[in-house]
Amino acid sequence: MGRVITLDGPAGVGKSTLAKRVAEELGVAYLDTGAMFRTIANTLGPEGLTLPRPAMEAELAKLRFSLSGSGAATVLSCNGIPTGRDIRTEEVGMLASRYATLPAVRAYLKKAQQALGAGYDLVAEGRDMGTAVFPSASDKFFLDASPEVRAERRAKQLAETGVTEDLAKVTARIKERDEQDRNRAIAPLVAAKDAVVIDTSRLDIDGVFNAIMREMKQLPQKSAP
């Protein structure tokens, strides 16, 4: 198993940007676990949610995730095809949150993510990386911010890609997703007991990045078993 750094937190807290930057700084791969859930949601669609578990497991067995590159240039592929902008819509994100409640999906992705961690030194970004997937990772962080702050960031991020969203609707969706993620029966969104918790509400990306790097210098440099 390579060295694994985990960054967990709710939607819109800046995990992706920061995980890429930390991975770039360390020269290791970046694992966007949310993209894995989104890929499943986008591939199976809303109707997939009703599949019996054996049928769901059969569909999941057809998917093979892989990584190439490092830092911000890391590419996550599914069946050899790089993930793209089609999985980044708000609708796919909400659907992915529903898929994340399914035991078959979580079991499959936990195994797939741990397999990637066995082959790479990486920064793993998600919602349960430090609690369920890599509980023995030596470097764990949990980022948080208010729903309103996260909604403003998400709306700005969407605008930069040419998508205009009503701020009130974005805020409502983030609160709805928080409710789903924090209260699901399997691997709910919660900070690992040994994670460093950083409130990003009043910090810009540089401020959070610097806080993470300062903490990492104080953490033991050991690989996750």
Residues 6 or more apart whose Cβ sits within 8 Å of residue 165: 90, 154, 155, 158, 159
Q: Give 225's pLDDT tier (boundaries 50, 70, 90).
A: very low
Q: Is the pLDDT of residue 77 over 50?
A: yes
224 assigned to some structural domain: no
Question: In total, how many domains does the chain have?
Answer: 1
Q: Give 87's pLDDT tier (boundaries 50, 70, 90).
A: very high
223 assigned to some structural domain: no
225 assigned to some structural domain: no
Q: What would the pLDDT profile of 190-207 be if each residue is shown by its tens digit? A: 999 999 999 999 899 999
Residues 6 or more apart whose Cβ sits within 8 Å of residue 91: none
Q: Is the pLDDT of residue 224 over 50?
A: no
The model's pTM: 0.81
Record the tokens describing residue 59, joined without a space: 């569909």
Quick one: which of 19, 12, 11 has its CA closest to 141?
19
Rounded mean pLDDT, 111-138: 93
Record the tokens describing residue 89, joined without a space: 């819509």
Q: Which domain holds residue 153?
A: 4-211
The half-sphere exposure of 43 on its side-chain side, counting CA atoms within 13 A, is 20
162 assigned to some structural domain: yes
**Range among 12-16, 184-188, 218-222 with highest mean pLDDT value:** 12-16
- Residue 65 has a CB neighbour count (10 Å cut-off) of 20
**Stronger pLDDT, 1 or 130, i.e. the higher one:** 130
Cα separation, 174 vs 169, whole angstroms? 9
Q: What would the pLDDT profile of 48-70 be if each residue is shown by its tens digit? A: 999 999 999 999 999 999 999 99
64 assigned to some structural domain: yes
222 assigned to some structural domain: no
Cα separation, 180 vs 34, whole angstroms? 15
Strand order in 75-78's β-sheet? 65-68, 75-78, 81-82
Q: What is the residue-averaged pLDDT of the chain? A: 90
Q: Give 162's pLDDT tier (boundaries 50, 70, 90).
A: confident
Q: What is the pLDDT of residue 181?
A: 83
Cα separation, 67 vs 32, whole angstroms? 10
Rounded mean pLDDT, 202-223: 80
Cα separation, 189 vs 7, whole angstroms? 12
Q: What is the CATH number of the domain that holds 126?
A: 3.40.50.300
Record the tokens describing residue 160, joined without a space: 């930069």
Using H for helix, E for strand and C for coil, what is the string for the chain?
CCCEEEEECCCCCCHHHHHHHHHHHHCCEEEEHHHHHHHHHHHHCHHHHHCCHHHHHHHHCCCCEEEECCHHHCEEEECCEECCHHHCCHHHHHHHHHHCCCHHHHHHHHHHHHHHHHHCCEEEEECCHHHHHCCCCCEEEEEECCHHHHHHHHHHHHHHCCCCCCHHHHHHHHHHHHHHHHHCCCCCCCCCCCCEEEECCCCCHHHHHHHHHHHHCCCCCCCCC
Amino acid making up residue 167: L
Strands 122-126 and 4-8: parallel
80 assigned to some structural domain: yes
218 assigned to some structural domain: no
